[in-house]
Amino acid sequence: MKTVLVILAALSLSACASSAGFGRSGGVATYDDLKAAQKACADKGGTLKLQKNGDVQYLDDYACEKK
C-alpha cells in the first residue's frame, strides 16, 4: 500500500509546482500524507511547501518546488 501511495504521490508531483494531491485522507493533510509527499518531492530534488494563501489543513494546498 505504501508503494502505491509513493507512486501516486510521485505522479501528482511531476511538475515543478504541482499540487501534492489528495492522499489517503480525502485531501486532509495528515502527517503520513505530508511525509510521503515530501519524500516524493525530495526524490525529484524539490521541497514541499505550502502555496501562497494555502490552508495547512489541505494536502492539495502544498506544492513541490524545485530548489
13-41 residue pLDDT tens: 544 444 555 556 667 889 999 999 999 99
Q: Could you state, in order of their start, the residue ranges of all structural domains in the chain? A: 2-66
Average pLDDT, the chain: 77
Look at residues 15, 14, 32 and name the one whose alpha carbon lies nearest to residue 23: 32
Per the structure block, which three cell numbers stand in for 22?
489528495
Per the structure block, which three cell numbers stand in for 43?
526524490
For 59, the 3-state DSSP assignment is helix
Task: Say whether pTM exceeds 0.85.
Answer: no
How many other C-beta atoms are found inside a 10 Å radius of the C-beta of residue 59?
A: 25
